């Protein structure tokens, strides 16, 4: 049996690494139909949630916290954009964040049940719409997860951080797509 040449071994290793990276790479959100710059104004709507989540414990508190985090992360960006908005454009951009899936154990649950309360997770779909035309420019989806053990060790701190990070992902997507449409991270962790 012949040993592989050093060159073919390097090529095989490089090919394996490229394939491995592709398999484990996190998915990304597609870019909007076009850049977000050049509109008459920008508005962030309140966070809404899927009706199927209405029976979850403390869902109103969690949604209120996500809404607060979203406004803290996104409104400064929109204020800057609004200060240089194009008054000649008839269209404005409206951003509608919507929680589609959620599991956020409370601090008391983390204290008493620890990791047995499971992983925390949140999925947010954001519709970016031109108004008054109603044309959807983009519908990126964002995901964050809080590991059960990390949540237990921090007595819910890791779960709370997940709610801040989801807002940060939305802000990053908006900022990245202002001057050119490039897409952005989903936050999904395999």
Query: CA torsion 52→58→64→67, rounded to 10°?
Result: -50
C-alpha–C-alpha distance, residues 104 and 160, integer Å:
8
pLDDT > 90? residue 19: no
pLDDT computed for residue 22 by the predictor: 47
147 or 99, which is more confident?
A: 99
pLDDT > 70? residue 36: yes
pLDDT computed for residue 152 by the predictor: 45
- E-strand stretches of 104-140: 120-131, 136-138
pLDDT > 70? residue 24: no
pLDDT > 70? residue 48: yes
Sequence-ordered list of residues with C-beta below 8 angstroms from that of 156, at least 6 positions apart, any chain: 105, 106, 107, 109, 110, 111
Question: What's the predicted TM-score (pTM) here?
Answer: 0.80
**CATH number assigned to the domain covering 35-185:** 3.40.50
C-alpha–C-alpha distance, residues 80 and 73, integer Å:
12
pLDDT computed for residue 177 by the predictor: 97
C-alpha–C-alpha distance, residues 126 and 96, integer Å:
5
Domain residue ranges in the chain: 35-185
* pLDDT tens-digit series, residues 52-80: 999 888 889 989 999 999 999 999 999 99
pLDDT computed for residue 162 by the predictor: 80
Phi–psi pair at 131, nearest 5 degrees = -125, 135
């Amino acid at each position: 049996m012949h040993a592989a040449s050093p060159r073919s071994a390097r090529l095989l290793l490089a090919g394996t690494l490229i394939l491995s990276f592709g398999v484990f790479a996190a998915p990304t959100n597609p870019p909007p139909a076009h850049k977000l710059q050049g509109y008459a104004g920008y508005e962030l709507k309140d966070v809404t949630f899927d009706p199927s989540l209405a029976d979850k414990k403390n869902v109103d508190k969690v949604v209120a916290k996500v809404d607060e985090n979203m406004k803290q992360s996104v409104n400064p960006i929109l204020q800057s954009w609004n200060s240089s908005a194009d008054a000649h454009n008839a269209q404005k951009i409206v951003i509608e964040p919507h929680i589609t899936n959620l599991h956020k154990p409370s601090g008391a649950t983390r204290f008493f049940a620890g990791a047995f309360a499971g992983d925390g997770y949140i999925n947010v779909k954001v519709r970016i719409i031109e108004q008054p035309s109603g044309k959807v420019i983009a519908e990126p989806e964002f995901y964050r997860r809080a590991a059960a053990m990390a949540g237990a060790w921090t007595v819910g701190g890791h779960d709370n951080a997940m709610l801040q990070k989801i807002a940060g992902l939305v802000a990053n997507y908006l900022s990245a797509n202002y001057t050119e449409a490039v897409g952005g991270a989903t936050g999904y962790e395999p």
